[in-house]
Amino acid sequence: MEEKFAKKVVEVNGFPHIPLYSEEFTEAEMLARTGKFYSELSARRSVRHFSDRPVSKDIIEQLIITAGTAPSGAHKQPWKFCAISSEEIKRQIRIAAEEEERSNYNSRMSEQWLKDLAPLGTDTNKEFLQIAPWIIVVFKQVYELGPEKDKRTNYYVNESVGIACGMLIAAIHHAGLVTLTHTPSPMNFLSKILERPENERPFLLLPVGYAAKNALVPDLQRKSLEKISVFYE
Ligand SMILES: Cc1cc2nc3c(=O)[nH]c(=O)nc-3n(C[C@H](O)[C@H](O)[C@H](O)COP(=O)(O)O)c2cc1C
């Protein structure tokens, strides 16, 4: 990727630092930009009906590298994004996810939970896991493995990986694609199918692709600014 500016490295406390690259805008420009960004992100929806139309690996790589720009505790970057287009692996994931979901819906979920889910129209059928051209499974690295297989601490792992997932979801939407934040809990089957090392735990499963033609989404209302914020001026 082309550098936007020449890196002029200076030392601070013995560690290399570079000048910050940032853009400034006028108040009017900022209002226009933040309004446009809000409009774009407010059109994002969780989608459960996918098209099988292919999406190139190049796009998926760009989405993942975007997620990888997220901030993380002590810059440990405690994430791993597994991108799956293999029909066989997607099939295995669907079978295992549906099995877990059957247990969830039939016994593990409370009456209240099932009531809360009812408006979303979700059920134990996870056909979309095979229809979507890609599944991205995000793993959190609960600790880091050093060269001698020694354990090194990661910090604020859930917060860091959660932020990276938010950025990934926003990037998917920005590309004109759709995803579903899916948590077929427990998700241990993903570690087995994808043969992940012991320091990695499944965090989220995101089918990625184009929405099916005529896809429907629940008519949900989002909380107002007044409801989600308090200003102290
Ligand atoms: C952490 C998390 C877990 C979720 N798990 C599931 C899931 O397992 N299955 C599902 O159909 N939707 C799941 N969702 C999607 C939510 O139902 C959806 O985000 C919510 O209904 C709001 O809809 P919207 O994303 O279209 O705004 C999950 C969302 C989050 C943030």
Q: Where are the domains of the chain?
A: 46-215
Nearest CA to ligand 1 atom 29: 181
Would you give the DSSP letter of residue 228?
H
Does ligand 1 come within 6 angstroms of the Cβ of 153?
no
Chain segment 111-130, per-residue pLDDT in tens: 999 999 989 888 899 999 99
177 exposure class (CB count in 10 Å sphere: 0-12, 13-18, 19+): buried
Taking the alpha carbons at both ends of the chain, their separation in whole angstroms is 42
pLDDT at residue 178 tops 70: yes
Predicted local distance difference test score (pLDDT) of residue 181: 96
CATH superfamily, domain 46-215, is: NADH Oxidase (3.40.109.10)
Nearest CA to ligand 1 atom 14: 181
Q: Which helix (H) or strand (E) holds 11?
A: strand 10-12
pLDDT at residue 134 tops 50: yes
Predicted local distance difference test score (pLDDT) of residue 184: 86
User: 185 or 225: whose pLDDT is higher?
Assistant: 225
Does ligand 1 come within 6 angstroms of the Cβ of 120?
yes
As a whole number of angstroms, the distance between CA 62 and CA 206 comes to: 15
pTM for the whole thing? 0.95
Choose the residue to mutate in 128, 173, 181 for probing ligand 1, maximizing ligand atoms within 8 Å of C-beta: 181
Predicted local distance difference test score (pLDDT) of residue 1: 47
Does ligand 1 come within 6 angstroms of the Cβ of 90?
no
52 exposure class (CB count in 10 Å sphere: 0-12, 13-18, 19+): exposed
Chain segment 19-53, per-residue pLDDT in tens: 999 999 999 999 999 999 999 999 999 999 999 99
pLDDT at residue 196 tops 60: yes
Among residues of the chain, what percentage have pLDDT more than 70?
97
Nearest CA to ligand 1 atom 15: 181
Tokens 């033609």 locate to: 213
Does ligand 1 come within 6 angstroms of the Cβ of 173?
no
